[in-house]
Structure 1
Amino acid sequence: MNFVRDTSLRSQLLCWLLLPLGGIWILTACGAYFLAEHFANNTFDRELLNSADSVIARLRSDPVKIWVDMPPAAQAILRHNNRDKIYYQVLKPDGTRISGDAVLPKPVRHFDSPVPSFRYAKLNGQDVRIVRVKANLEGHEDQMVLVQVAMTLNALHEMTQQILLSILVPQIFMICLGALCVSYGIKRGLIPLSKLEKALSARSQFDLTPVESSETPSEMKPVVSAINVLLDKLRNDLDQQQRFVANAAHQFRTPLAGLKTYIYAAKRLPGDPRMTEMLEKIESGVDRLTHLANKLLTLAKAEPQIGNANHQAVDLNFVASEMTADFVSEALPKGMELTFISSEKPALVFGELTDLAELTSNLIENAVIYTQSGGNVTVRVSNGDAVRLMVQDNGPGIPAEEREKVFERFYRVLGTAAPGSGLGLPIVKEIATAHKATVEISDCPGGKGTTVTVTFPCAPKGNFNGKSKTNTDS
C-alpha cells in the first residue's frame, strides 16, 4: 500500500514548530511529576514526624516500666485524619512492643541511628509510609525506645495530584496558546504565497505579463523571478507561433487566390464537360483551403486580444442583427428559417466590434452548416444581470461528452458529414475569453438540437458603437 507524503508547507511548518513544543512539554511534565512527588513526600513526612513527636511527648516511665499515656481523647486527636488511617507503635530496643498497634511491622535496620528513618510498607493490603524515631526518656537518658508511626497514602496521592495539576494545567494552557500563535503566525506568513496563487489563477492563458514582485518577501523573490523567466519564454514562444500561423495563412491566401482566378478562366473556355466538372471540384477544394486560411488568420489575430485598449461599448443587438442578415443567403437554399430576436433594451458589452462580429458569425455559420434542410436557427440577444448571445438550432445536437472537446482546434465530432474546418468554436472560445465572457453548450428545450450561449459582463452605460435592431426573419 502506497502512502502519499503530505507536501503541505503549512503542515510541515506546524509539524516542525509544534513537535519541539510538544517535546518540551513532555519533558517539563516529567520534571513537574518528580517535583510534585518530592514536595508532597516532604510535606507528608513532616506530618508523619509531627505525629511521632506527639507520641514521644506521651511517653512516661518509672524505675520499673515504660508506658504511653495515651487516653482515648489523645488517640482521637492523633488519629484525626479522615482520609487516611494512622498507626503508631512504641518498642524497646530489643523489639518488644510497649504500646500501640501490633499490626505494624518491626523496624528492619539502623536501630541506633538518631536520624528519623522513612520507608514504605504493606499493611492490611494497603500501602503505608512509616517513620521510625529513636527517643530517650526525660530523666532516663540511658533508656531508649523506638517510636513508629504509619499512615496510608491517600492524602499523599491527593497532594501529589494537586501539585502536579497546579503545574501542568497552566503549562497546557500556555502550550495551546503557543500553538495557536504559531498557527496564526504561519497563516500570516503564507499570505504572500496565497496572494501569488490567486493572482496566477485569475489570469487567462494569454496573460503572460511578469508577476509583480515589489511587495514579495525576499524568500519568495527567487520563485517569482523563476516564474517570470518561464512566462517570458512562453510569451516569446507563443509570439513565434502566432507569427508563423499568421504568415502561413497569408502565404496560403496568395496562391489560393491565383488558383481561383485560373480556375475561373479555365471554366470559361470551351472544352470537355468532364474537365469542367473536375475544375468545379478543384474550385471547391480551393474554397475550403481559403476558408481554412481565413480561419487560421482570424484565430491568430484573436489570441493576443486580452486587455486590448481598442475595446469600447458595443450593442450586441446590432452585431447579431448584421451577422444574421449576412447568412440569409446561405439559409435560403436549404429552406431554413433563420430568425433574430433582439433584447428590449440595448445589450451593451465592452469589446472590439470586429471580434464580436467574428464570434457571432462563427456561431451562426456552424448552426446553418450543421442543421438539416428545412431546419430552424434562432439568434437571440437578452439583457439582464448579464448580456447573453444565444444561437439555437434543431439540428443533430452535440453529445454531452463531446462538448468540451469541440473547443479544441481542428476537432470535429465523429460522424459529421457537413464541411467545416474545426476552428469555428475554438475562435469563439478565444474571442469570448478576450472579452471575459463564458461559452456554454446545452440542449435546446425539448432535448433536440443545440444551444450555444455566450455570457458577457454588462458594459458601463455610455456611448456605444452600433445601433439596436430588432427581429429579422428569412
Structure 2
Amino acid sequence: MMQGIFQSVWAKHSLSRRLLVWLLPSLVLITVVEFSLSYRLAQQTIDEAYDRGLQSAVRALSLATRLDANGFSVEKPFQLLSYVQSNARGTVFFRVVTSDGLLEAGFTDLTFPWPSAPKNDEVLLAEGEYFDQHLRIAALRRELVAATAQSPAISVDLLVAEDLAPRQAYLEQFIWRTLLRDSILLVFTAVLLILIVKRSLSPLGRWSRLIRNRDSHDLTPLPINEALPLEARPLIESLNFHLDRGAQEQGQRRRFLDNASHQIRTPLAVLKTQIAWAKSQGSDLDAMAFLARFESQVDQASQHAAQMLQMARLESGQTLSPVAIAVLPLAQDVVVTLQALAQQRQIDLGLTCGADLDVSTRVWGDEGLIRQVFENLLDNAIRHGSAGGEATLSLTQAGETVLVAVENNGEQISDEVLAHLGERYYQADQASYWGSGLGLSIVAAILIQLGSRIKFEHPTSGGGLRAVFELNRVIEEEHNDVST
C-alpha cells in the first residue's frame, strides 16, 4: 500500500523535479564525502608537518648531547627548545636522562612509553599527558658507551614534547575555511544544476505547447530537427507513427463513408426510378416484376444498414460472456441455409471435418456471433467465387482449439489487397474481391471479441482466397468448472 502511495505521489512530479530529487541529494552526498576526505587529508598533513618539527628538535638535542673526557654535557638546550617553541607556537617540553641515572635535565616528570627493545638513534612518536596537557612526544635513545665485560652499556634518552592545542587550532581553522568554500560551491553548483535541468528540458515544454495548440484535424507528422534532444526523439517518432496511422485510418474512414453512402444512395435511386416506371405501366405483370426488383433493392439496402449497425455495436466495446457452442451442428446449419444461394451462383458449397471432430465438439463463444462469422465468410466466398467453382468450410481440431478455414477458387487476389483485407473502413478497388463492403470488417471485429484473429492467405490450389482463424475448444474439465 505504501509503495502504491509513493508511486502515486511520485507520478505527479514533473520530469525536472524527478531529476533534481536524484541529482541534488547526490551532489550533497558527494560534497560531504569530499569534505570528509579533505578533513582526513588535512589532519594527516598537519600532523606530518608538526611531527617533522618534533623529530628535527629531538635530533638537534641529540647532536647537542656529548660525552667526552670532561664528562657528559648538553649544550644550550633551552636556547634550542626556545627556537622550536617559537616555530610550534605552543609549549615545548624536553627531558634528557642517562641510563645510569647520573645525569638528568629538563622536565623530570615527562615520560615516554618505550618499546621493549628500541633501535639506536631511531625517533619514536607517541601521545601522552603532562599535567592535564595533551602532548605529542618525540623520543630517541642513543648509546653513549658500548657495553664491556666489566660494565654495561650507557645510553641517553632524549624526549621533546609539544602541546597539541596549536595544531588542533590550526586544523579547525583549516576545516572551517574548507567548509565555507564547499558550502559556497555546493550552493553555486545546485543553482547551476537547476538552471541546466530547466534549460535542457525546455524543448519538451515547447513541443508540448506545439502539440496542444495543433488543430484537432491536423495529423501531419511533427518536425524532428537538431533542437530536439536525442532522448526525446523516440517519443516524437512514436507520436509520428501514431499520427501516420491515424491519418491512414482517417483516409480509410473517408473512403468507406463515400462507398457506403454510394451503396445506400444507389438502391434508393433505383427504387425511385422503378417507382416512376411502375406508375407509367398499367398491367399487373409489369407491377409484379417491379415489386420483385423493388424487393431486391430493399433487401440490399437493408443488408447495408444492418452491417453498419452491427459494426457500430461491435465498436461500442460491449463485453462478451462466452458459452459452450456445438460448432459442427452450427456449421452444418449455416451451409444448409446458404445452399440456395450457392446453387443460384453455380457454386459447389461443402463442409469438411477432421477425423477427431464430431457433434460433441464445442467451442467457447456466442452462437449468434459465430453464426454471423460463418455466414459472412461463406456468403463472400459464394458471391466472389468463379461460376462452377467450389466454396468450402472446413473444421479441424488442433490441440485446445478448433481450426476454421473458408476458401474458394475464385479470382486471384494481389498481395497488396490481401494485406488489407479485414481492415476497418477498407474497400478494395475491384468489386469482385472479398473486401467489398463491411462483411470482412465485421468478421474481424467479431473474432477479436472472441479472442481470435483472422488470417487471409492464398489457397495452395491456386486462385481464390483462404480465410483461417481459431476458436477456443471447450475442455471437459473447464466446462465442468464453469457449470459448477
TM-score by length of 2: 0.47
Q: Which has the higher helix share?
A: 2
Structure number with greater CO (CA < 8 Å, separation at least 6) is 1
